[in-house]
Amino acid sequence: MSSSASSGPRDLNGRVVEQGRLARLRSRLRPRAESGPLTLGERVEVVARSEDDAIASSVALEASSWRADDEVILRHHVEVPPDRQADAAAVAALDGYESIADERWGPAPSPRAEGLVVLVLARVQLLDAMHLSQERSRMASLGSRHGGFAREWAVLQRPPG
């Protein structure tokens, strides 16, 4: 699913939500910078992140500057063998994740394990602690099934103001 292929606000599972008449009217009355749904190509900043598998999602989000009412880009770094990268990206795409091959959010991370590559996966969605935990688990499973592991996650949002 490409970010340009379907637009609109996202739900907690990253799916586009149809807007009613009132929501469309409100979006027209808001300032231009806030009016549209978030896309993977926008300028965003990291508001929460962790490499620690043991940290609870609720704890990580509570300690962050995450704004619960705003859409986020949920980004995962998954390390997999090079010959499994395309398959892992295809499986993640079934859940609306895109493989990011450029450096829009900074330099691409280097793999930590010999013989693996870093697959950067991202999607736009609303977020809460339960759904963050669900997605972290999904990425851990994806990495494991493809001979690798989930290394890090990050929540990105538009700068406030």
pLDDT value for 71? 96
Residues 6+ apart with CB under 8 A from 140: 53, 149, 150
Q: Where are the domains of the chain?
A: 21-157
CA dist 85 to 17, 75, 147, Å? 30, 16, 10
Looking at the domain that runs over 21-157, which CATH code has it been given?
3.30.70
Residue 154 tokens read as: 């990050």
- pLDDT class for 2, splitting at 50, 70, 90? very low
Q: Give the residues across from 10 on adjacent strands.
A: 16
Within the chain, what is the greatest distance between any pair of CA atoms? Answer: 53
pLDDT value for 26? 56
One DSSP character per residue, 39-67 reads -TTS--EEEEEE--TTS-HHHHHHTS---
- pLDDT class for 23, splitting at 50, 70, 90? low
pLDDT in tens, 136-160: 999 999 999 999 999 999 999 999 8
Continuous segment of H or E residues that includes residue 92: helix 85-93
Alpha carbon distance 45, 35 (integer Å): 18
pLDDT value for 32? 45
Q: Would you say residue 21 has pLDDT above 80?
A: no
Closest CA to 2 of 40, 54, 36, 29: 40
pLDDT in tens, 50-108: 999 999 999 999 999 999 999 999 999 999 999 999 999 999 999 999 999 999 998 88
Task: Count CA atoms within 13 Å of residue 129 on its CB side.
Answer: 10
- pLDDT class for 7, splitting at 50, 70, 90? low
Continuous segment of H or E residues that includes residue 154: strand 149-157
pLDDT value for 9? 75
pLDDT value for 102? 93
